């Protein structure tokens, strides 16, 4: 990946709907050259997908929380992972090192809906311990990495 590819990616991160014509003008490269580079970035997997980023507050999701989960033993991992994938309010789930086994990012409507989700999580087989932290504000939130 060279400097031009990185410029293409940075422009698309600002606006994924940017046309090849607009990219061509912005980067000073011909439209066929931009198109070919985009195809290569997509084929190689550098560009994983194009998406829309929604504002949670505009969809009545005003509460974010981080939850750490410790399982009794690793044999419960697969069933816990299946459960997490079906819960729409769990936006991210990471298998982590340290005292806890999983870190969850939860986006929900209110403390009441958070309580309901926490109860569903705590009722899953093999849950030993949880810790939940409510997010007061977001300082930075980059949905993707930034090419350097």
Dmax (CA) of the chain? 58
Q: Is 56-135 a CATH 1.10.1740.10 domain?
A: no
What value does the mean pLDDT take over residues 105-120?
98
Question: Is the pLDDT at 147 greater than 90, yes or no?
Answer: no
Q: Is the model's pTM score more than 0.75?
A: yes
Q: From CA 104, how far away is CA 66, in angstroms rounded?
A: 6
Q: What is the pLDDT of residues 26-72, one digit of tens each?
A: 999 999 999 999 999 999 999 999 998 999 999 999 999 999 999 99
The CATH number of the structural domain formed by 3-44 is 1.10.10.10
Mean pLDDT of 117-134: 97
Residue entry with tokens 């195809």: 39
Q: Are both 3-44 and 56-135 of the same fold? A: no
Are the C-beta atoms of residues 65 and 133 closer than 8 Å to each other? yes
Cα torsion for 76, 82, 84, 87, to the nearest 10°? -140
Share of the chain above pLDDT 70, in %: 100
Q: Which residue has the tokens 């090192």?
A: 97
- Contact yes or no for 78/54 (Cβ under 8 A): no
In whole angstroms, give the CA distance from residue 57 to residue 38. 33
Q: Give pairs for 52-60: CB < 8 Å, separation 24+.
A: 53/143, 56/107, 60/109
Going from N- to C-terminal start, the domains of the chain cover 3-44, 56-135
3-class SS at 85?
A: helix
């Amino acid at each position: 990946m060279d400097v031009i590819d990185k410029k293409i990616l940075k422009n698309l991160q600002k606006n994924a709907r940017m046309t090849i014509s607009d990219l061509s003008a912005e980067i000073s490269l011909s439209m066929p050259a931009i198109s070919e580079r985009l195809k290569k970035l997509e084929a190689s997997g550098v560009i994983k997908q194009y998406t829309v980023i929604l504002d949670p507050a505009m969809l009545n999701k005003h509460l974010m929380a981080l939850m750490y989960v410790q399982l009794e033993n690793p044999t419960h991992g697969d069933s816990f992972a299946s459960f997490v994938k079906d819960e729409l309010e769990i936006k991210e789930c990471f298998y982590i090192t340290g005292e806890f086994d999983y870190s969850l990012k939860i986006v929900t409507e209110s403390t009441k809906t958070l309580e309901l989700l926490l109860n569903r999580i705590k009722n899953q087989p093999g849950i030993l311990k949880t810790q939940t932290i409510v997010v007061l504000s977001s300082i930075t939130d980059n949905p993707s990495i930034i090419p350097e």
